[in-house]
Amino acid sequence: MCASVFELCERMAPGFVKDVASWLGLTLWGGLVIQVNKRRRSDEGMQRNLLTAIMGLYRGMRLVVVVDEDIDPWQPEDVMWAIQSRASAQKDYVVYNEYGRGQAFQPSELKIGNISVSDGGMGIDATAPLGEQVYERSKYPVDQMDFSKWLSEDEIANLKNMQDPYFRWLGETGHG
């Protein structure tokens, strides 16, 4: 599904979408994360067009989140950080496709005979407005840290293995 959504986006806005992700918790038409790269003023708003197309085209889609290229779409915690720091509940959360055809396996959907009627899905624009610096992420200078002065390579590897994957990723990227 990620590949077909990427192709749809590429046809609508060539070069705008960098990646399309779906985590285990978003499978079975549950949802997607779309990573975009806004390069110019005319790109602003294209993320909303893509949300509309995806939510309207894929039957029973429950959640689509659009994030900037500084957000890793394969890291759920990073996507949640983008939602809580960049999305406004008043203007960036949009319900789509209410009363369209849904998926029979969605327990919350209305069933009329053999027909599943969707109660809609949510699109979240978790991108920063183009050029607004207040949305930039802090970055710690992790590339300047050399723990081998104090710890052996085995000790460093053991410590990294004990870390939660998200915190290990933060330590590798320097995102705060």
pLDDT score of 26? 75
Residue 14 inside a domain? The answer is: yes
In this structure, the answer to whether residues 47 and 71 fall within a common structural domain is yes
In this structure, the answer to whether residues 7 and 46 fall within a common structural domain is yes
Residue 136 inside a domain? The answer is: no
In this structure, the answer to whether residues 36 and 81 fall within a common structural domain is yes
Residues 128-150: tens digit of each pLDDT: 988 777 677 778 888 888 889 99
Using CB atoms within 10 A of its CB, is residue 1 exposed (0-12), middle (13-18) or buried (19+)?
middle
> If you average pLDDT over residues 114-119, what whole number do you get?
64
pLDDT score of 109? 58
Q: Under a CB-based contact definition with an 8 Å cutoff, are residues 30 and 63 in contact?
A: yes
Q: Under a CB-based contact definition with an 8 Å cutoff, are residues 6 and 20 in contact?
A: yes
In this structure, the answer to whether residues 81 and 161 fall within a common structural domain is no
Segments forming the whole domain that contains residue 68: 2-129
In this structure, the answer to whether residues 32 and 102 fall within a common structural domain is yes
In this structure, the answer to whether residues 88 and 148 fall within a common structural domain is no
Give the pLDDT band of residue 7 (cuts 50, 70, 90). Answer: very high
Using the Cα atoms of residue 169, residue 172, residue 173 and residue 175 in order, give the sign of their dihedral.
Answer: positive
Residue-level length of the chain: 176
End-to-end CA distance of the chain: 32
Residues 62-113: tens digit of each pLDDT: 899 999 999 999 999 899 999 999 999 999 998 886 656 555 556 665 666 6
Give the pLDDT band of residue 118 (cuts 50, 70, 90). Answer: low
E-strand ranges in the chain read 17-21, 31-36, 63-68, 93-96, 110-112, 115-117, 121-126
In this structure, the answer to whether residues 26 and 79 fall within a common structural domain is yes
Residue 135 inside a domain? The answer is: no
pLDDT score of 85? 92
Query: What radius of gyration, in Å, describes the C-alpha atoms of the chain?
Result: 19
Give the Cα separation of 99 and 101 in Å (integer): 7
In this structure, the answer to whether residues 113 and 150 fall within a common structural domain is no
Count of structural domains within the chain: 2
In this structure, the answer to whether residues 72 and 13 fall within a common structural domain is yes
Residue 137 inside a domain? The answer is: no
Residues 8-66: tens digit of each pLDDT: 999 999 999 999 999 887 775 678 999 999 999 999 999 999 998 988 887 777 899 99
Give the pLDDT band of residue 158 (cuts 50, 70, 90). Answer: very high
The CATH number of residue 19's host domain is 3.40.1670.10
Residue 50 inside a domain? The answer is: yes
